[in-house]
Structures are given as structure tokens and as C-alpha cells.
Amino acid sequence: MDLFTLSLILVAVLFVCLALGLWVGFSLIAVGLVAMTLATPAPVGAVFGTKAWAALNIWDLTALPMFIWMGEILFRSRLSSDLFTGLAPFTRRLPGGLLHVNIMGCALFAAVSGSSAATTATVGRMSLPELKARGYDDKMAIGTLAGSGTFGFLIPPSIILIVYGAATEQSIARLFLAGVLPGLMLAAMFGGYTMFWAWRNRHLMPPPEPPAPWREKIRAAALLLPTVGLIVAVIGSIYGGLASPTEAAVVGVVGALAISGLSGGLDRKGAWDSLRGAAVTTCMIAFILVGAAFLTGAMGYTGIPRSLAAWIGDQGFSQYALLAALLVFFIVLGFFLDGISIVVLTVSVILPMVLAAGIDPIWFGVFLVLVVEMSQITPPVGFNLFVLQSITGKGIFTIARYAAPFFFLLVAATVILTLFPQIALWLPSTMSAR
């Protein structure tokens, strides 16, 4: 069977499974099964066992349940409402108000966490109920979160950049530095869009409150102290050399337990509920990771991503045309595969043509992260969508619609980055001076 027909069949199988309401993890497994049965003599069951095992037997993944657990504890303590009460007087005058908490919260949290699912789950668990209680528009509350959750990959540390760096022999230290300014730029773009949206849609915003006197601001700032302390402790443990980025998640858990224990907000039931919530959310993400890993393995056997990438390579595109073609290619793959799978499956074919076109490999790492971020919020397979569905109960297509403006902002960011590559390359270039 030719790869084109095979691809069509697989896309059809995926859509039928998902539309029927088969769980996402199972749907991915089903597509992998069909792909391997049709295209390779390799033993499909044994491949499934190996890929499922290898998908989760990963040390870095342990940070995921720890951060989710931290979020569950904070959500059950007074800390999350304190955070919002504390920020309210400062963001009151800003168009968009507390919606900026999503963006700034994710940017801050991304400096701690390497994954976008953990960032979305942790910040979302705290912020969405508070935004809802304060009368913010669901569409924007969820959309900003879906978009900003993807900072987890761009602002260091970043799982994607570690995977890319390991596969392509690029310096992970430089890649991390390269992600900083684009990450801040993206946060500014998201913030700017939110202000613009709030200015255009004043009727959808909760009624503005009177400006806060400085006395109230000080009282509010005091409410922020525990949260700020927690963030400082987690980031400080990494930069102080006390914990690796993976281990730092546990600093967050212990800190959250300590704070909510001291403030008396966490009883036995709350403690168990937070742990149960962490186990369930972790399991949900892990099960999809299993399906995605098996499908990735199946795709490796079929050779579809390789052939597609090689086809692009054969077109003899100029630099900009190549990047445009790759952007489209990654967006299309990103609908169906998760970000890490895309990088793993295609980088070995794509990097040589990227280098041949004279594109800087460090810059290309940042470009890849941006397209991977897009894949997190495009249906039917996008991890931020899954996390937000489990928090809000809204369907993934609805959430994807809310997130659409941020998808386009991500596309705009890749264009800006292409025109001004120094945004990514300036910081790493300062490293060569030593």
C-alpha cells in the first residue's frame, strides 16, 4: 500500500474512534494497531508492550505528578484565592484585569516546569475557578490558559529542548538560553492581545472596580507573600544547586504542604483528595502518552513522517520557503501527534536540510518549540486541550476554538522570529565570550 492511502486510512480511523467517543489514549492505540497491521511485519503486540513501558519509565516525568499534586494542594488551600485577591488591586486598572494572572502565572511557572501539561494543569487548577467566581468570560479565561500553558516548553527548563538537543548534538545550555527572550516576547504578545480583547469587549468583562488606595495595596501584597515565597523556593532550589529541575517539583509539593498546613487549610480529607486528584490527572496524561508513544513507534515503522519530511527536502526550497513549508508540515502533523513525537520522528530527516539551507540549529530548536506549542492546542490531539477538558469538562474542540487566537499569535511569533533571528540567538551568543 502506498503511504498516501495509508495516511488517509489512519486519519479516518482516528476520526471515527474519536468521534464515537473512544478515549483518546485508546484511539491512538487503535490507529497504531491499524498502521502496524497494514504496513509492517513487526510483531505489533510486542512493540506495544515495549513502547508503553518506555513511554512512562522516564525519570523526568516524575516532575509531572509532583507539580500537579502541588497545584491540587494549593487549589484546596486558601493560597489560590489569596493569590487572586492579592493581585486584584494591581491589575484592576489594566485592560483584561486578572486574565493576566493566567499569562504571568504560566510564564513564572514555566521557569520551574519543563512541560506544558504540568504548567497548564497547575496554573489552571488554581486560576480557572477563581476567574469564574469573579465573573470573567469563560472563553477568554480558558483560551489564555491554553495558550500560556505552552510557555512550559519555551521558557527554560524545557523537555522539548532537551529532546531536540540530545537528538541533534546541540548544546542544551544554549538552547535553554535561546528560549528565554522568545518566551518573554510571546508572553508580551499574549498580554497585548488580552488587553486589546478586553478593550474591544468591555461588556464581557466583570464590572471595573474603583482604584485601590495604597493601604489596600499593601494589605493585598501581604497576601501574595506565601505564593511568592513558594515560587522563590522552587526556582531558588534549582539555581542554588540544591535540586535538579525534576527534583524541584518536590520542593513545590513540600512547600505547598507546609504553607497550607500552617494556614490550617488542609485537613486529612483535603490531603487525600489532593493526592487522589494528582493520581487521576497523572493517569489521564500518562495513558495518552502511552497511546502517543505506541503511535509514534508505529509511525517509525511505516515511515510516513520520514517520507513526508524527505519529500519537502527534495523540493529544493529557498530558506524562507523551506521554513514556510516546514511550518505547514508541522502544523498538519501537530493536529494528530503530540509535540515530542513530532520532534523525535522527523528531526533526523529535517535537520540536515535545515543546516543545508544555512539555518542556525539553535534557532531552529526554538522554531520547533513554537510549532510544538501550536500542536498542544490544536485538535484532535493536543495535550493542553486534554488537561483543560479534564479541569473544565468542556469538549476539546470547544477549548481549541477558545485557544484559536493564541494559535495564530504563535504563528505570528514564528514569523517575527524568522525575520529577527537575533531574538533567539543573542542570549546564547553571549556565552561564547567566556
Partner 1 sequence: MRRMLDLIYTSALVASAGALVTIAVLVFAQIGGRILDRFLLAMGREVVGFQVPSLAEIGGFLFVGAAFLALPATLRAAGHVRVTMLAQALPGAAARAVTIIVLAAGLGLAAFAAWHSGVQAQDSWAFNSVSFGMVRVPLWIPQGVMTLGLILFAVALADELVAALRGATPAFREAEAARSIDDGGH
Partner 2 sequence: QTAWDMPTPYGDTVFHTMNIMEFADDVREATGGQLDITVHSAGSLFGHPEIKDAVRRGLAPIGEILLSRLANENPLFEADSIPFLADSYADARALWAASRPAVEALLAEQGLTLLYAVPWPGQSLYLTEEVTDPAALQGVTFRAYNTATEQLANILGMVPTQVEAGDIPTAFATGRVAAMMTSPSTGVSSQAWDFTSVYVDVNAWLPKNVIFVNTEALNALPEDQRAGLLAAAAEAEARGWAMSEAETATQIATLESNGMTVVQPSEALSAALAAAGAQMTEEWLARAGDEGAAIVAAYEAAQ
Binding site for Na ion (CB under 5 A): 110, 114, 152, 155, 158, 334, 375, 378, 381-382
| Residue 304 binds which entry of partner 2, Na ion, partner 1, none, CB below 5-8 Å type-dependent | none
DSSP 81-140: HHHHHHHHHHHTTSTTTTHHHHHHHHHHHHTT-S-HHHHHHHHHHHHHHHHHHTT--HHH
Give how many residues touch partner 1 by CB under 8 A: 63
Q: Hey, which residues between 40 and 99 contact partner 1 (CB under 8 A)?
A: 45-46, 48-50, 52-53, 56-59, 61-62, 65-66, 69
Closest CB 155 distance from partner 1, rounded Å: 22
Closest CB 396 distance from Na ion, rounded Å: 9
Asked if 171 touches partner 2 (CB under 8 A), the answer is yes
| Residue 21 binds which entry of partner 2, Na ion, partner 1, none, CB below 5-8 Å type-dependent | partner 1
Asked if 394 touches partner 1 (CB under 8 A), the answer is yes
The dihedral region occupied by 363, where left means phi > 0, alpha psi between -120 and 50, and beta the remainder, is alpha
Residue 56's identity, in one-letter code, is L
* Closer of 58 and 133 to partner 2 (Cβ): 58
Task: Determine which residue in the list 4, 12, 16, 53 makes contact with partner 2, applying CB under 8 A.
Answer: 53
Q: List CB contacts of 378: < 8 A, sequence separation 6 or more.
A: 331, 334, 335, 400, 407
Asked if 174 touches partner 2 (CB under 8 A), the answer is yes
Task: Determine which residue in the list 337, 396, 423, 424 makes contact with partner 1, applying CB under 8 A.
Answer: 396
Helix 319-336 to helix 304-314 angle (10° resolution) is 160
Asked if 232 touches partner 2 (CB under 8 A), the answer is no
| Residue 245 binds which entry of partner 2, partner 1, Na ion, none, CB below 5-8 Å type-dependent | partner 2
Q: Is the dihedral of CA 92, 97, 98, 104 positive or negative?
A: negative
DSSP 183-244: HHHHHHHHHHHHHHHHHHTGGGSPPPPPPPPHHHHHHHHHHHHHHHHHHHHHHHHHHTTSS-
CA 15 distance to own-chain centroid: 23
Task: Determine which residue in the list 1, 20, 21, 57 makes contact with partner 2, applying CB under 8 A.
Answer: 57
How many other C-beta atoms lie within 10 A of the C-beta of residue 315? 10
| Sites of contact with partner 1 (CB under 8 A) | 17-26, 29-30, 33, 45-46, 48-50, 52-53, 56-59, 61-62, 65-66, 69, 237, 241-243, 246-247, 249-251, 253-254, 272, 275-276, 278-284, 286-288, 380, 386, 389-390, 392-397
